[in-house]
Structures are given as structure tokens and as C-alpha cells.
Amino acid sequence: MQNLMLEVKELTTKYITRYQENVYAVDHVSLKVEEGKSLGIAGESGCGKSTLALSLMGYYFAPLHYTSGEIIIDGRNVSGMDPDDVRKSILGTEIAYIPQAAMNALNPTQKVIHFIEDVFQAHDPSKTKKEIHEFAKEAFETLGLPAEVLQKYPVELSGGMKQRTVIAVSVLLFPKVLIADEPSSALDVTSQKMVIKMLKGLMENGFIKSMIFITHELPLLYNVTDDIMVMYAGQIVEKGAAKETVFDPLHPYSKGLMGSIMVPESGLRDTKLTAIPGVPPNLKNPPSGCRFADRCKYVMPACKVTSVGLREIALGRAYRCILREDELREVYSEEAYQNAR
Amino acid sequence: MPDETKVCLRTSGLTKVFGVGSQKCVAVDHVDMEFYEGGVVSIVGESGSGKTTLAKMLLGLINPTEGDIYFEGKKRDIRTQRKKREYWKNIQAIFQDPYSSYNTFNKIDAVLLDCIYMRGGRRLPRAKKIEMMAEACSFVNLKFEELTNKYPFELSGGQMQRLMIARIFLLKPKILLADEPTSMIDACSRATILDMLMQLRNEIGMTVVFITHDIGLAYYVSDIVYIMEHGKLVESGCADDVILHPKETYTRRLISDVPKIHEVWDLSTV
């Protein structure tokens, strides 16, 4: 068993709206990331992926509030800390975050190197300017970025280059966990590939110890991460190794997701894409039973009243459905048989 | 399947140049394309390859620097506003960003009424108009009663994009240009939107032109694929030929950069 880098136990966080309503965007989420591993989080917009990322790094600014649960980073419990303390002692060194629009995070009036100087001034003031410059240059070269980038203004860099610069800056303090929230969704395929190559290189070069990768592009997730977790309406509905989750999904929602993958490979044109009808439930007053019941093809009367917990069927493999594994498989094979006819 | 004999839209030597002198930028460079009646065509390229400029020229929103566009065998004539409106009855578009596709000050029913007026339904009785609008909304799984008094910004992105399809349902154009219709929508709702578009195509028999950077989508929906690079057409042909057996180096690189599931995705090539 490897060292646990990040352990989250039953984390619940909520948004408080203007009308004092509680919206539980992350609802009893538990996860574990071991050293040297990466975890992918999939799900449609509004399912709580990004809120989970913000909650993990302790970014509790109104309207987001911490409710319960524990976050343990490399043996250190950081849950419920004051956001200011989090910024001083956790962000950057323990956990680093790459937001969705990372390319807009750079200050247009400052050269990249000044940005890096600022980072070190806040976290490691003993370093001299010369040391910082040398360190940054070395780090950038290891990560495959030209050292000239350091002396440039953000406007002089292309979108893909800006994104890679932000990633490089965020790992300079060797964080234990890196959270990448859709780092490549605004880029075209070639720049996306470069970003992914760099992210994979971070772990090999020892800049980070583990990674959480959030996206709704499943083919990308499959290629990047070791494990995949599918979220729906604030809850985990399925988790397991990447291969199992993509090729052998158990929960009806993940089954629908995997059926909507479009990749340019032979055989795609013969398959029929599955569309999931309807919209996710409003989390202001979530349904009492299964949250996916309204959109599920295989819904039964019991689904709407009994809430189900995660069923663990093997180590690290779990799903949230009222049906047992063999019952689900039977339902799926029956459907496949009907479709074939 | 497309009727190979009937070309409904054709471009010959279409060129668009922005700027002059040192600022000169050739966005579209001598492009010859043919769109068959009832066919589904994809124009694929990375950002900056000129696909949106091409679409705008086809729509008549910007004038080409050089080259001609032939619509149903005749050279397109849109010199006056009246002729332009006539042309737009035949060719319509869905844009990438549904949020900026609507007039913010118009309510949803005004948006849909406009489409009925364009089809010459101005003098229809009110009940008939409402019936038509409700039918269009139910085609895209929206409830017309809930929408009538709403403004576009009150809808979600997916709902707006579906309302766009409802507009097309009312307008019944001969050609639909879909400029990245699903790129602002998450992967899970993509299939829903595509299904609706394809169903609509089967119903009214229009030609659909997808402009996209998503090669998986292009391969899934289209019969014919055009690949563009820096304003030039680099490869064209049957979807199976172009995507599975690409000939040009650029196409090969583009396809190898897309993450795969059944095949190995080689990261060492960038």
C-alpha cells in the first residue's frame, strides 16, 4: 500500500443563497488518492465537480461554506481551516489548483518572472532573487518550456503557452496534490496534447505527488488518470479504475455518459450514441430517493423513496444504485439483446 | 444519403483577405467546396484555420475578397437587403455561443414569431401561430407555456441551443450551417443536441454543414469531411476515408492528437 496523499472523508459543503437556502453542492464525498496516482472526476455541468475542487483546497469564501467531513493531506487534517491560514500554509505547498480560465490568471502588466518572484516572496522569503531566477529557469527547462518565457509578458504568449506557464508556476513549490480543473477545455487539440503531456511529466519529474483531474471530456480522462470518479448532483455515483469505469460502467448514469463518447475510431459510426434525457435535479430540495431516478431508463417505484448509499463491490470500485451488480448486468444484457433484434 | 447529382451550394476560388500590407492575413485561401442536397458535411480545422470566416461568407454576412458562391446552380446575388433576406430563407445558421445569438430585449415568443413571419405567416390567426410555436418547442423538448414570457438570458445554455433548433424547425431552410453547435455544451448533452439536429434533417431534408474542431463529432455525423489548415483546403472526401485512412500529414497529425479510447494515444509525438 502506497502512502495516502489525500484522504477525504464524508465531505459536505454548501452554498447559502440570497434567500438563506442551503444548496449542498458536495454531499458526503469520500475519496482517496495515493502517492503517484491520479484521480479523474467526471460529470456534467453543475454536478459539483468544481465545487469539490474549491472545497478541497479550502477556498471557503461566501457563498460557499464548509459543513462537515475531513480533508487529510499527507497525514495533516486541514478541514475547516480559516481561508487566510489556508492561503499561507497550504496553497502552493500542500495543494495547488489550476482553475478553468488559468490563462487569465496572469497579470498582464507583469513579466512571468515577477509573478514567480511574488510566489516565493510569500512562501519562502529567504531566497534571493538570483536563486529564484536560477531555480525558475531550471524548473521551466525540465518541464519543456523555453526559458525565454520568463522574461515575457503574458500577452506575448499563445493560449497553450500561457496555460503551460500557469501550470509550471503552480508547481514550483512542489505541492503534494495538484487539482487541475478543465485545464485544456479552451485549447485546440494540439495544445491540449502538449498540456496533457506536461501534466503527466509533472509526476515523473517529482514536482507533484498526486493529481486530481476534472473534466467532462471522457476520452481525455481515460488517457490521463488511473482512477475515475463520476459525480451526479453533488454525489459520487460510481468510482473505479479508469478502464473499468469506461468500458464496464455499472451505474445507469455512467452507462449513459460512456455511451455518449465520440472518438474518431473505426466502429463509431455503427454505434448509436445514448442521450440522457432531462436535466439534473435542483439541489435546493433534492429528491428524497435516488437523485438520478427522474432521468433513469430503468427506474422502479422503490427508487423514488429509498436513498441508496455507495455499494462497494471491490477495492476502490463502488457504485450507487438500488440494484445489485448481477441484477444491473442482467438489465443491461437484456437491453443489448433487445437492441440487437 | 445525399443526392450526388444535385449540388445546392458550391464555392469556387473563395478567398477572404483581412488587412493590407504587412498586416495582411489570408483567412480563406482559394477554397472550392461542393455541398450536395440532403448531405451532411463537416468542415474540420483548428482555431485560426478560417472555418468560421468561410461560414460567414457562405451566409453572406461578409463579402468574399475573391471567388464566387453558387446557390442552386446560379451565382448568388445578395447585393440588396431584400435579396439577402430572400437568401436567408434558404440558408440558416446555429452559432457556437447561444448566449450571444439572441436579441436580449426580445422575449422568446418574439424570437419564434419572427421565424413564422419570415416564412410568410404574418397573416395567420394568432391561435395558429401559437400552435406552430408550441409544436416547434415540443420538438426540442421545451415547454412553450413556460417560455412565452421569458427573456433569452433566463434560459440555460443547453435550452438556448435547443431553442435555436426550434427556430430552424420553423424556418425550414434548405441549408443549415452549424458553427460549433455543441462546443459550449458539456459532453453529456451533446448527443441530445445532435440527435435533434439529425432528426430535423430527416424530417425536412435539409443539407447540414457542421463546422467543428471535434473530429469525433465530424466522423460520427457526416458523410463528407473537409479538412482545413491556415485557410487552405488540405483534404476532402468520404468520412471513412479521411478519418480512418488520412493521406495528408496534417490530417494525420490532427487525428493523432485527439485522445482515443480503443487505440493507444501516443503522447510522444508533440
A residues 213..252 contacting B (CB < 8 A): 216-220, 222-223, 246
CA distance B226 to B250: 12
Q: How many residues does chain A have?
A: 341
- Domains contained in chain A, number: 1
Interface size between A and B, measured as CB pairs under 8 A:
110
Q: What is the mean pLDDT of residues B248-264?
A: 89
pLDDT in tens, A314-335: 888 999 999 998 999 999 999 8
Quick one: CATH architecture of B3-269?
3-Layer(aba) Sandwich (3.40)
Encode pLDDT of A257-297 as tens digits: 888 888 888 888 888 888 887 778 888 888 888 999 888 88
Contact A277 B263 (CB under 8 A): no
A139 within domain boundaries: no
Residue A130 resides in a domain: no
In a domain? residue A330: yes
Residue A162 domain flag: no
Give the chain B residue nearest A268 (alpha carbons): B220
Best A45, A216, A294 residue to mutate vs chain B (most B CBs within 10 Å): A45
SS3 content of chain A, % helix, strand, coil (to 5): 35, 25, 40
**B189 CA to chain A: closest CA distance, Å?**
7
Suggest the residue from A263, A271, A295 to mutate for an interface test with chain B (most B CBs closer than 10 A): A263
CB contact under 8 A, B194 and A190: no
φ and ψ at A322, to 5 degrees?
Answer: -70, -25
Q: For chain A, first and last CA: distance in Å?
A: 47
CA distance A316 to A244: 11
∠ CA B116-B122-B126, nearest 5°, is 85
Note whether A174 and A124 are within 8 A (CB).
Answer: no
Shortest distance between the Cα of B259 and any Cα of chain A, in A, equals 6
Among B44, B142, B188, the strongest candidate for a mutation testing the A interface, having the largest count of A CBs within 10 A, is: B188
Do residues A254 and A228 touch, judged by C-beta distance below 8 A?
A: no
- Give me the interface pTM, i.e. the ipTM: 0.80
Domain presence at residue A50: yes
Give percent above pLDDT 70 in chain B.
98
Distance CA B20, CA A68 (A): 62
**Which strands sit side by side in the sheet containing B3-18, from one edge to the other?**
B25-37, B3-18, B66-71, B74-75
Residue A69 lies in a domain: yes
Digit-coded pLDDT (tens) for A181-205: 988 877 888 888 999 999 999 988 8
Domain ranges of chain B: 3-269
Q: In whole angstroms, what is the distance from residue B195 CA to residue B236 CA?
A: 25
A10 lies in some domain? yes
A217, A218, A273 ranked by CB distance to B191: nearest: A273
Kindly identify which residue of chain B lies nearest to residue A188, measuring between CA atoms: B46
CB atoms within 10 A of CB A77: 12
What would the pLDDT profile of B203-245 be if each residue is shown by its tens digit?
A: 888 999 999 888 988 999 999 999 999 999 999 999 999 999 9
Chain B touched by A282 (CB under 8 Å)? no
Mean pLDDT of chain A: 88
Tell me the longest C-alpha to C-alpha distance in chain B: 65
Confidence of residue A231 (pLDDT cuts 50, 70, 90): very high
Three-state DSSP class for A91? strand
CB contact under 8 Å between B192 and A277, yes or no, is: yes
Give tens-digit pLDDT for B78-123: 889 999 988 998 999 998 888 888 888 888 888 899 899 988 888 9
Q: How far apart are CA B48 and CA B127, in angstroms?
A: 47
Amino acid at A251: H
> Which of A44, A259, A265 lies at the smallest CB-CB distance from B263?
A265
d(CA A339, CA A320) in angstroms, rounded, equals: 25
Residues 6 or more apart from A290 whose CB is under 8 A from it?
A296, A303, A304, A306, A307, A308, A320, A321, A322
Chain A nearest CA to B141, separation (Å): 9
Q: Which residue has the cell 443539407?
A: B207
pLDDT at B3: 53
The Cα-based distances of B204 to B109, B129, B175 in angstroms read 22, 19, 10
> What is the extent of the structural domain holding A38?
1-106+175-341
Assigned domain for A152 exists:
no
- Residue A188's domain is classified under what CATH number? 3.40.50.300
Residue B240 distance to chain A (closest CA, Å) = 8
Question: Would the CB atoms of A268 and B187 count as touching at under 8 Å?
Answer: no
Q: What is the DSSP letter of A115?
A: H
